[in-house]
Amino acid sequence: MWMSKSQFEYWKHTHLTVDVVKGRGAGFSLEAPEGVRFLIRSRIFTDEEYAAAQP
């Protein structure tokens, strides 16, 4: 998975999980021919998690 620097700045406080599950997707290369779709879940980092992720 790739995201731009501006996207990262927006999402840097968030834990993103990208799963592949059975179902009909929106036409991305993996989704269309294989009968699977991407499912993205997100949650805000706790203060401790965010602190631990800092350089």
Task: Reduce the DSSP state of residue 1 to 3 states and report it.
Answer: coil
Query: According to the model, what pLDDT value does residue 4 have?
Result: 96
Q: Residue 26 carries which DSSP code?
A: S
Closest by Cα among 42, 20, 18 to 30: 20
Query: According to the model, what pLDDT value does residue 20 have?
Result: 86
H helices present in 1-55, as ranges:
5-11, 31-34, 47-52
Give pLDDT tens digits for 1-55: 789 999 999 999 999 999 888 887 666 666 667 778 888 899 999 999 999 988 8
